[in-house]
């Protein structure tokens, strides 16, 4: 077996082991994929200042996110269909995150349900909310998250309408997936993945099926989801959601200082600077490109997190030095999950922590709390 030294090694193994339609789901953006690509490349253009003759014998990357102590300032982002990347994928990712000491975020569009993850894990996790037209369903979904003792609600606000992703259309990857003959044949070449999926009963959208009137199977789910994402969602709805939730609220999908200030003024405890991984508005800037202006607009009055393009511990440090209070990873941990299951997610986190620690040290810094723009070349 190939020695795993970096996230790219996990990605290569992931590509071998997971059906093409799910690999393409992860490795795609909307339209020309310009924003999807720039999320990662823009980070690479940020250069570090190396400092020497600093006592590096005592170092720490431990931090906090929303008041929770974390091993490093990284959380696992919500990723839909994670349970199709690996059998019981959401459960395995949540267990790995809890054991490592960072938050896991469960997507509304997960395969394993809120209750599945809560039953199998001991540490609280975050829950990501998509707002549907069926507000009674949303009310019950939030109540289920509260009953599961989720520690934060992540309200995603950039998916009122769906961006067009060419690869997903060609692969028949809808909700639920409708595999083409070509993809069924490809699945047959992934026995490790297939045996895992056969062994688990969790193959449907667990947060939805059985929780919505008339949606009892994948056939009825398709018709329901086609009409449910709510283009009418607006800032007035945030107060209703915050009041119903009653706990820490994170708003995900902020890309301008104006919206960051509105999120703060509407009671958000944190925001996530995010362009949905380049999967919505193509031609938008990379998350890292707008982060400094957003941080300058809101200051320390609200926690500012960032996702998009993070593939290394160095990228985590670049984001922190550019103003982020913390970061989220999506694709990076999906590579690990698809490659090696729970162990692969742990390996992803170990790689990031090691790279973060070493790069911070090379920059002459010994505590993650002291990282600033001073470690970067302007």
* CA distance linking residue 111 with residue 204, whole number of Å: 5
Residue 276 is among the residues annotated as catalytic for this protein:
yes
Q: In what order do the strands lie in the sheet with 126-129?
A: 74-76, 326-329, 303-306, 270-273, 249-254, 152-156, 126-129, 105-106
Active-site residue, selected from the candidate residues 45, 86, 166, 276: 276
Q: Among 232, 234, 306, which Cα is nearest to 263's?
A: 234
* CA distance linking residue 271 with residue 156, whole number of Å: 10
Buried-state track 98-129, b at ≥16 Cβ within 10 A, e below 16:
bbbbbbbbbbbbbbbbbebbbeebebbbbbbb
Q: Is 188 exposed, middle or buried (0-12, 13-18, 19+ CB in 10 A)?
A: exposed
Residue 325 to residues 59, 70, 273, 322, Cα–Cα distance (Å): 18, 12, 11, 9
- Asked if 114 contacts 144 with a C-beta cutoff of 8 angstroms, the reply is yes
* CA distance linking residue 219 with residue 249, whole number of Å: 33
- Asked if 256 contacts 290 with a C-beta cutoff of 8 angstroms, the reply is yes
DSSP string, 20-87: HHHHHHHS--STT-HHHHHHHHHHHT--BPP--S---SS-B--EEETTEEESSSEEEPP-TTHHHHST
Task: Name residue, tokens 């708003």.
Answer: 251
Catalytic residues: 276
């Amino acid at each position: 077996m190939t020695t795993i030294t970096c996230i790219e090694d996990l990605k290569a193994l992931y590509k071998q082991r997971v059906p093409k339609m799910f690999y393409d789901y992860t490795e795609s953006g909307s339209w020309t994929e310009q924003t999807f690509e720039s999320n990662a490349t823009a980070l690479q253009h940020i250069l570090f200042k190396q400092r020497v003759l600093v006592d590096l014998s005592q170092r720490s990357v431990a931090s906090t996110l929303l008041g929770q102590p974390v091993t490093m300032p990284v959380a696992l982002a919500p990723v839909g269909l994670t349970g199709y990347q690996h059998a019981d994928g959401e459960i395995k990712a949540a267990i790995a995150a809890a054991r490592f000491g960072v938050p896991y975020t469960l997507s509304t569009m997960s395969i394993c349900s809120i209750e599945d993850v809560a039953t199998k894990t001991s540490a609280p996790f975050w829950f990501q909310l998509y707002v549907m037209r069926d507000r009674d369903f949303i009310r019950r979904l939030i109540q289920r998250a509260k009953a599961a003792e989720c520690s934060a609600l992540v309200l995603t606000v950039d998916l009122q309408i769906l961006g067009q992703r060419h690869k997903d259309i060609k692969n028949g990857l809808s909700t639920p997936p409708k595999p083409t003959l070509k993809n069924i044949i490809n699945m047959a070449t992934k026995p490790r993945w297939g045996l895992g999926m056969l062994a688990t009963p969790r193959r449907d959208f667990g947060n939805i099926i059985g929780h919505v009137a008339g949606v009892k199977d994948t056939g009825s789910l398709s018709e329901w989801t086609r009409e449910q994402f709510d283009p009418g969602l607006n800032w007035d709805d945030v107060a209703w959601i915050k009041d119903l939730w009653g706990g820490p609220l994170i708003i995900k999908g902020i890309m301008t200082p104006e919206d960051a200030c509105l999120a703060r003024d509407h009671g958000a405890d944190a925001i996530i600077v995010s362009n949905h991984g380049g999967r919505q508005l193509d031609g938008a800037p990379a998350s890292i490109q707008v982060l400094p202006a957003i941080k300058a607009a809101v200051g320390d009055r609200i926690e500012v997190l960032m996702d998009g393009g993070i593939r290394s511990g160095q990228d985590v440090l670049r984001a922190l030095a550019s103003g982020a209070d913390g970061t989220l990873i999506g694709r990076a941990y999906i590579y690990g999950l698809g490659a090696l299951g729970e162990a692969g997610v742990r390996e992803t986190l170990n790689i990031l922590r090691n790279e973060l620690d070493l790069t911070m040290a090379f920059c002459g810094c010994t505590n993650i709390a002291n990282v600033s723009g001073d470690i970067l070349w302007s």
